[in-house]
Structure 1
Amino acid sequence: MGGARTYHLKRRYGITAEDANAMLEAQGGLCAICRAAPAVHVDHDHVTGAVRALLCFNCNGGLGQFKDDPAVLRAAADYVQFHILSQRVVALAAAAGLGPVRPIRLGEPPVGSQRRPGTHSTSTRTTGRSSGSRRREQAGEADG
């Protein structure tokens, strides 16, 4: 009658082995996300417990690492896409003979800039006075 597998599926996910087999057949035996690897894990909503689909080991683990948060998953996808495109631009520039082009890195200052990541440019110096107050003082105007 299914044994340990049936017991596990019913106890943990509320489905039978027949339900899981039907899902596997409907998915063509492949992961519902990547559609490349065998679907061997039952994916479920950790809040409601509702079964969603069958996933491969990597996709199931990835969802868990990103805590099923769609915003974080989208941010990760955007991050990967940005760097793929950045690498393509560098390769195209090199192929066109434009010389060495360094890849774009988010958060870095432009080439030649004296700014460092994480610093904010202000006009206040270590004296605590802004450049405007220094100019007024040099022009003989009082801060008043």
Structure 2
Amino acid sequence: MDDKVIATLKQKASAARSNAYAPYSRFHVGAALVTEDGQIFSGCNVENAAYPEGVCAEAGAISAMVAAGGDCKIASIMVMGKGPTPCLPCGGCRQKIREFATSRTCVLVVDEDGALLFKDDLHALLPSSFGPENLEIEVEGKSA
């Protein structure tokens, strides 16, 4: 991934993070992903008074990607939290990323200033995962 794409992901994740709706935790998170064909989508966390009904930033970015149509293969995803501790995707988001991942999907985690705290492939975060290819179904005209 080149420096220009990384810079764009940081800008988009930061912009999304600034729009996060987090009145309960006050923990704002932004995410941005780039598809294999170069499209970039972002999302932010959206909390809800009924706590389980909130949406993670990564899920928001993935939803934006799917809603736009086209290539739904994540090349890389960046998550921006706050502070020196990496804001890694939760288990549910790891599985959501996995649904649209390739064997090369990279996960990057940066702090609010854009300093890289974590970089690895999705397999490191979700080893021995279950995905579409484990099912004997047809997904959008392709056998999984």
TM range (shorter): under 0.3
Higher normalized strand content (fraction of residues): 2
If the length of structure 1 is used for normalisation, what is the TM-score? 0.23
If the length of structure 2 is used for normalisation, what is the TM-score? 0.23
Which protein, 1 or 2, shows the higher relative CO under an 8 Å CA cutoff with sep ≥ 6? 2
